[in-house]
Amino acid sequence: MVATTADVAAFAGSLGAPAGARQPTTYPIRWLTRPELVDLVRDLAADRPGSLPVHELQTVEMLSALPLDRELSLAAEVRRTDEIHLALDVAVSDAGAPVARLHAVLRLVP
């Protein structure tokens, strides 16, 4: 996956940041909507048809500056923690060097 300069600027603008502002540290949270992760969430919630996974908690821990316009790796663990919760833990790296850690708890809402 790649964080392009244009995507990060558009994300910052959507938050009301002026042009040229510092990169939003929350930008990587966008990667939780990647099709591979959405598929895992859907599969883990298959026993609750019609439920909507709603963010109950999310954290982004930036370990270094977000490299722009370079291929980054994403490793994810998605698991069911109880009847109505799923947890996502995602590590983002740049050529093996840690860039960010993401954690999200989703509540399955009928």
Q: What is the DSSP string of 60-84?
A: EEESS---SSSB-EEEEEEEE-SSS
- For 95-108, write each residue's pLDDT tens digit: 999 999 999 999 99
Total-model pTM:
0.87
- For 16-25, write each residue's pLDDT tens digit: 888 778 888 8
β partners of residue 74: 92
| DSSP state letter for 32 | G
Percent residues over pLDDT 90 in the chain:
79
3-state helix, strand, coil in the chain (%, to 5): 25, 40, 35
Residue closest to 75 by CA, chosen among 91, 96, 58: 91
